[in-house]
Amino acid sequence: MEPVPIMINGLPGNMAGIMFNAAMKDRRVTPVPFSLTGPDISFSDVQTETVTVRLLHPDSREEDIRDILERYPGLIMVDYTHPSGVNENARFYVRHGVPFVMGTTGGDRAMLEETVRQSEISAVISPNMAKQIVGFQAMMAFGASSFPDLFKGYSLQVKESHQRGKADTSGTAKAIVDSFRRMGISCSEKDIQMERDPERQRDVWGVPEAFLKGHGWHTYTLTSEDRTVTFEFKHNVNGRDVYTLGTLDAVLYLHDKVQNGDRGQVFTMMDVLKG
């Protein structure tokens, strides 16, 4: 199979940069030297480990993208931008008929999915691209559908810690909270405790110094009403490599779906795992 051309959007952001460098080492894909960037970025290009990538700003990208699509047929977008740009970026991809993998969290997720379903393209949309964590989410979702009210009467404490630059609450934490809610626990996304202070992350949480700028630690603690029973679920990720591996699998899965003629379909990482 010929390598799939991908455009990784969000440079000079950390996750987009790590994703670009990982893609350069994967023979299944070919990252193109262009990237959508935000209105607050003043410079025109960024240097990765191997190549110089030209940045496309909001005021010029409509014109630039036409040439890129002509040069790279079969292009798939990979979005690791900012939560504030999720919905506008999706409309941009749809407008130009480019399938995409949405790794960015935040935005109006219902509108995001509807944008794809009303279009001629398909996309993989997931709050988390780490396959093992997605599998954990699937187990929680199975528990919610199979054992409603399993934890009725229990209280839930959710704590999540991410690097200071993560602007929104963890999408994974939101999904797990929803599963626990369907298992009988009275809780909401507002109950999720966010940590973004590097000093507290290091001194209180125990996050290694080397990963303060890139980590995702989550703990879900359930306690019975009389406080005699406690369940605790935890997943701690240091670095971002696990997300790049899942994202690349999502790209190949989406490529196959597009080749098979799928249009207007929203896929998740659970679909990728099953496929």
DSSP alpha helix (H) spans, the chain: 14-24, 61-71, 86-95, 109-117, 131-146, 171-182, 198-200, 241-259, 269-274
- Side chain identity at 262, as an amino acid letter? D
Query: Which residue do the tokens 């299944």 mark?
Result: 28
Side-chain-side CA neighbours of residue 133 (13 Å)? 25
192 - beta bridge partners?
A: 158
Is 162 labeled as catalytic in the residue annotation?
yes
CA distance 45 to 248: 24
Cβ-based neighbours of 81, under 8 Å, separated by 6 or more: 9, 10, 13, 16, 36, 37, 38, 89, 104
CA distance 260 to 251: 14
Sign of CA dihedral 57, 60, 62, 63: negative
Sign of CA dihedral 43, 47, 251, 74: positive
Side-chain-side CA neighbours of residue 200 (13 Å)? 11
Residue among 25, 82, 159, 162 flagged as catalytic: 162
- Residue 89 Cα to chain centre, angstroms: 14
Residue among 82, 166, 255, 257 flagged as catalytic: 166
* Catalytic residue set: 162, 166
